[in-house]
Amino acid sequence: MDVSQYLDIFIDETNEHIQALSDNIMALEQEPENKDTINEIFRAAHSLKGMAGTMGFKRMQHLTHDMENVFSEVRNDTVKVDSNLIDILFKCLDAVEGYLETVKATSDEGTEDNAALIKMLNDVLDGNSGGSSDDAGDDSPAAEDSAPAAVADDQVGSEDPNGTNHFLVLKLDEEGLSKLRSAEEDDGLKLYGMTVHIQKECLLKAARAFLVFKALEDYGEILIYDPSSQDIEDEKFDLGFSVIFASESEDLESIKASVLAVSEIESVDLAAVTVEQYEKASEAEDTSASEPAAADDAPAESAAPAPAAASAPAAPAPAAASTPAAKKAANKPVTTRTVRVDLEKLDALMNQVSELIIAKNSLVSISSSSENSSGGLDTQSWQSQIEYLERITTNLHESVMKVRMVPIESTVNKFPRMIRDLSRKLGKPMNLVMTGEETELDRTVVDQLGDPLQHLLRNSADHGIESPEERRAAGKPEEGTIFLNAFQEGNNVIIQVGDDGGGINTEKVKAKAIERGMVTPEEAENLSQKEIIDFLFMPSFSMAKTITDISGRGVGLDVVKSNIEALGGNVEVKSTLGQGSTFTVRLPLTLAIIQALMVEIRDEKYAIALGSIQIIEDISIEDIKYVEAKEVVHLRGNVIPIIRLDQLLDFEPLDNEPSNLTVVVVKKGDLQAGLVVDNLIGQQEIVIKSLGKVIDNNKLISGATILGDGEVAMILDVNALM
Amino acid sequence: MGAELETLDEEKIQYIVVMIGSEQYGLDISVVDNIVRMQKITRVPKAPSYYPGVINLRGEVVPVMSARLKMGLEEDEITKDTRIIILRLEAQGLVGILVDEVKEVITLGESEIDRSNQNTNKQDTTYINGIGKSGDTLVSIFEINAIIDEVEA
């Protein structure tokens, strides 16, 4: 079956379910008795299993199946949730994620069976299965499954014949036996028994069965149906049916593969049989009680999930080729980057496009009517249509950007789990408080935000939060708090990551910087708090006293900084010794289109992003003062350095300087600077274009834009100026 | 018949012949995207000196290089014949090259190109991978990858 077309959806949805599981398991740890959470977990695990099965990822399905079993027991109150169980479950989740990664890379689930994990899960079940099997009835199939699954794990290869290979226990009447006999003895054909298990979710079981029969007819003749062929046709069977068929072929694998190629087939058990077996069986049945008769219905029920569980780690021979369909498509990376879009956003987009068409039509009609009425264009209606058009394009832009926007949730929601793990590993109780997960950012930014944020959080956990003893001594609660706040501020999204830990010890940083030869002790004396903290962002400047695997390898904040800057953002730190530190990440909301102020320097035009502009001032030349031979201006209590853009951008100096300067005051965090320009042109929405690779080594210029008249203007990178 | 046979004999490559200074140079036509007339070039501050700036090519911002400056000749003289050859390169994307004049398109087989490169004392030899003979004129064949390399930071 070709499932590659569903692979993207599978990957997306699996990610969602893994995340849901992770969230809920975290919640479960907090309140082990919450039924809603348990049900939610159970549903997610069940969906995961179903999807893995549909895609033919047997190992993944096996693992998730066993997880589902455990959840089912938890739901039935037969297994207690403790931190040990939570640990195992998280390990399983990691393993499932591992499968997903392999699937993403190769379209195949790989060969890792995760037998150890499955064993752990089954140990959890075994510890309780005694009590559960009594009261758990039909509504809890998992309880029944657990036994064979556990057996399979311990005794590799020995499948429980009653439970799985249903065709082995078929009871044949004399007519059936004679059919088999004639095929085997008279025609010299091989006899094969087969039990086919159809997925629970399957809606058209009869149709699937029909397709199976059709596939088998290519190989030979079906002699025995169980249930009868009529019952199968009428869908009077559960999730499995068995057949015995005669064939010339001895290629078990290809028969199996062609049956598995029918969609929604969960698994197939196939083996060669002889008439003798059934003769014996029917004799035995005559003598013994009709006990197996009851087993006729039961195995079909419990067998459906169980064989899948059993056959994956067991029987290396048949299971090795269990996913031939998936293998065919293997070994090409499959992930395409997709954005799931809220239908409402698309509707808005559609509406605006309709408006755009209307606006275009209006313009057409205005221009044609003015042609007829000999006079010039009707300027007023022309003007109003242009305004209308402008409004539509602005809205359209906003809508398109919104389509690209996704909440940062998808990136940050793996962090609670990470902090939990770190907390256990470091032996420091800590808690992560997140707000603003719904804050939206451009998809490309969100994707690349994970690593830097993760790093900052690890940093807080490792360096920020003190040991419980220290915290007690400092009069703080033993449990440290790490927070992640995201919110929108103008055209930026701010993400703050911080802790209530010890804060940055600037004296230590200073000492380290001197030791590394980055500054002389004399220079260090004059450094401001901020300048000292900036050392932390230097390459290979690690403050960790001991190198742990959490942080302290020297690849640290400098990487965070460069990652964030590559996204057009910046990072700042505020720290109070003894009270904790806060890292503030500032990111642009959109990457492609911005509001900008156009300015003129001599005869060239430059754009400055409006988001970074604070105020525009006219400053008399006499107000410029000098501090350390640099020009500054005193504005409303702030001393602001003056940057002469013409000098910076290699213009010839003016012969006679005007007595008044136009200064655009820009800000980057707490920093301000005044950019001297010759002229202001006005505010404009600009589309950012790359300068092309060959001259893109330019720190001052972040890109170019094309103006209305076709001219190109450079966009000044305010962050690089300061 | 004869002409057809000739074309089959060896693989021929078409070159656009341009004038830079007093010499003729050939550019493999397969990398040429377009030839445009001289238009306003917007200066990019702090760019390498042989990049006069960028142009607006139908809504795309395309960097333009001066072949003269890159080869150490005197600055371009803009005339009515000045053209910008737009190259489409795999690694660098679109790049324009400023040339004095576009002459013609010639077809050369490998046998018509002298790869020996004897005149090594000339400054522009590193950008040239052969001399083509077209009729009685000589055309220096540009090595595109050498002339448009990564910028020295």
- pLDDT at residue A241 greater than cutoff 60: yes
Contacts of B43 in chain A (CB under 8 A): 604
- Identify the band that residue B59 occupies on the pLDDT scale cut at 50, 70 and 90: confident
Is A695 in contact with B45 (Cβ distance < 8 A)? no
**Average pLDDT, integer, range A238-259:** 79
B41 close to B63: Cβ distance less than 8 angstroms = no
For residue B126, which of B83, B70, B78 has the smallest C-alpha distance? B70
Whole-number pLDDT of residue A306: 40
Is A689 in contact with B47 (Cβ distance < 8 A)? no
In angstroms, the CA A139 to CA B97 distance is 76
| Residue-wise pLDDT tens digits, A665-716 | 998 767 889 999 999 999 988 888 878 777 766 678 888 898 888 889 999 8
Is A700 in contact with B46 (Cβ distance < 8 A)? yes
CATH for the A593-721 domain, from 3.30.1330.10, 3.40.50.300, 3.90.600.10, 2.40.50.180: 2.40.50.180
Active site residues of A: 46, 68, 459
In angstroms, the CA A52 to CA A308 distance is 11
Distances in whole angstroms, Cα of residue A419 to Cα of each of A266, A430, A456, A548, A704? 38, 8, 12, 15, 42
Is B95 in contact with A711 (Cβ distance < 8 A)? no
Contacts of B65 in chain A (CB under 8 A): 694
Whole-number pLDDT of residue A262: 75
Contacts of B95 in chain A (CB under 8 A): 692, 694
Q: Is A203 on the interface with B (CB under 8 A)?
A: no
Whole-number pLDDT of residue A302: 41
The answer to whether the A4-154 and A408-588 domains have the same CATH topology is no
Q: Is A711 on the interface with B (CB under 8 A)?
A: yes
| Residue-wise pLDDT tens digits, A324-354 | 433 333 344 445 567 777 788 888 888 889 9
Whole-number pLDDT of residue B16: 93
Whole-number pLDDT of residue B27: 92
- pLDDT at residue A38 greater than cutoff 90: no
Whole-number pLDDT of residue A370: 67
A654 close to A677: Cβ distance less than 8 angstroms = no
- pLDDT at residue A405 greater than cutoff 50: yes
- The beta-carbon neighbor of A694 closest among B46, B55, B148 is B148
Indicate which of B33, B40, B61 best probes the interface with A, i.e. most A CBs within 10 Å of its own CB: B61
Q: Is residue B153 part of a domain?
A: no
Question: What is the rounded average pLDDT for all residues in chain B?
Answer: 82
A595 close to A587: Cβ distance less than 8 angstroms = no
Is B48 in contact with A693 (Cβ distance < 8 A)? no
In angstroms, the CA B88 to CA A330 distance is 34
Minimum mean pLDDT among A202-216, A224-238, A364-378, B111-125: which range? B111-125
- Domain count along chain B: 1
Is B46 in contact with A710 (Cβ distance < 8 A)? no
**Average pLDDT, integer, range A609-615:** 86
Min distance A654 CA to chain B CA atoms (Å)? 18
Chain B, 32 to 51: residues with Cβ < 8 Å from chain A are 40, 42-48, 51
Kind of pairing between the strands at B93-99 and B60-66: parallel
Q: What is the CA radius of gyration of chain A?
A: 35
Whole-number pLDDT of residue A146: 40
Residue of chain B whose alpha carbon sits nearest to that of A695 = B47
Q: Is A710 on the interface with B (CB under 8 A)?
A: yes
A202 close to A223: Cβ distance less than 8 angstroms = no
A155 close to A269: Cβ distance less than 8 angstroms = no
A642 close to A624: Cβ distance less than 8 angstroms = yes
For A133-150, b/e burial (b = at least 16 CB within 10 A) is eeebeeebbbbbbbbbbb
- Identify the band that residue B124 occupies on the pLDDT scale cut at 50, 70 and 90: very low
Min distance B6 CA to chain A CA atoms (Å)? 40
Name the one residue in this structure whose structure tokens are 């031939």: A324
Is B61 in contact with A649 (Cβ distance < 8 A)? no
Mean pLDDT highest for which of A405-414, A616-625, B67-76? A616-625
Q: Is residue B118 part of a domain?
A: yes
- pLDDT at residue A492 greater than cutoff 60: yes
Name the one residue in this structure whose structure tokens are 């000999």: A374
- Identify the band that residue B15 occupies on the pLDDT scale cut at 50, 70 and 90: very high
Indicate which of B33, B40, B42, B145 best probes the interface with A, i.e. most A CBs within 10 Å of its own CB: B42
In angstroms, the CA A586 to CA A493 distance is 6
Examine residue A452 and say whether the peptide bond preceding it is cis (omega within 30 degrees of 0).
no
In angstroms, the CA A53 to CA A60 distance is 8
Q: Is A647 on the interface with B (CB under 8 A)?
A: no
For residue A97, which of A42, A34, A48, A31 has the smallest C-alpha distance? A48
**Average pLDDT, integer, range A400-411:** 81
Name the CATH topology of A166-312: Alpha-Beta Plaits (3.30.70)
In chain A, where are the structural domains located?
A: 4-154, 166-312, 343-406, 408-588, 593-721
Whole-number pLDDT of residue A329: 38
Percent of chain A beyond pLDDT 70?
Answer: 80
Q: How many CB pairs under 8 A join A and B?
A: 77
Is B45 in contact with A689 (Cβ distance < 8 A)? no
Q: Is B135 on the interface with A (CB under 8 A)?
A: no
CATH 3.40.980.10 fits A408-588, yes or no: no
A238 close to A297: Cβ distance less than 8 angstroms = yes
Min distance B123 CA to chain A CA atoms (Å)? 22
Distances in whole angstroms, Cα of residue A61 to Cα of each of A7, A9, A197? 15, 17, 14
Contacts of A604 in chain B (CB under 8 A): 42-43
Percent of chain A beyond pLDDT 90?
Answer: 7
Region class of B132: left (phi > 0), else alpha (psi between -120 and 50), else beta: beta
User: Measured at the alpha carbon of residue A259, what is the angle toward residues A256 and A263, in degrees to the nearest 5?
Assistant: 135
| Residue-wise pLDDT tens digits, A426-466 | 888 888 899 988 888 887 788 788 888 888 888 888 888 88
| Residue-wise pLDDT tens digits, B77-120 | 888 999 999 998 887 888 999 999 999 999 988 888 887 755 55
For residue A395, which of A348, A442, A357 has the smallest C-alpha distance? A348
Q: Is A1 on the interface with B (CB under 8 A)?
A: no
For residue B97, give the CATH number of its domain: 2.40.50.180
In angstroms, the CA B55 to CA A516 distance is 46
In angstroms, the CA B86 to CA B99 distance is 11
User: Measured at the alpha carbon of residue B8, what is the angle toward residues B7 and B11, in degrees to the nearest 5?
Assistant: 75
A577 C-beta neighbours (distance < 10 Å), count: 12
- Identify the band that residue A551 occupies on the pLDDT scale cut at 50, 70 and 90: very low
In angstroms, the CA A597 to CA A686 distance is 9
Q: Is residue B152 part of a domain?
A: no
- A513 Cα distance to chain centroid: 39
- The beta-carbon neighbor of B45 closest among A694, A701, A706 is A701
Whole-number pLDDT of residue A290: 44
Bigger pLDDT: A86 or A206? A86
Whole-number pLDDT of residue A143: 38
Is B56 in contact with A710 (Cβ distance < 8 A)? yes
Q: Is B94 on the interface with A (CB under 8 A)?
A: yes
Is A706 in contact with B148 (Cβ distance < 8 A)? no
Whole-number pLDDT of residue A46: 82
What single DSSP character describes residue A173?
Answer: -
Q: Is A694 on the interface with B (CB under 8 A)?
A: yes
Whole-number pLDDT of residue A164: 54
Q: Is A338 on the interface with B (CB under 8 A)?
A: no
Which residues have CB under 8 Å from A511's CB, separation 6+? none
Is A692 in contact with B153 (Cβ distance < 8 A)? no
Name the CATH topology of A4-154: Four Helix Bundle (Hemerythrin (Met), subunit A) (1.20.120)
- pLDDT at residue A278 greater than cutoff 60: yes
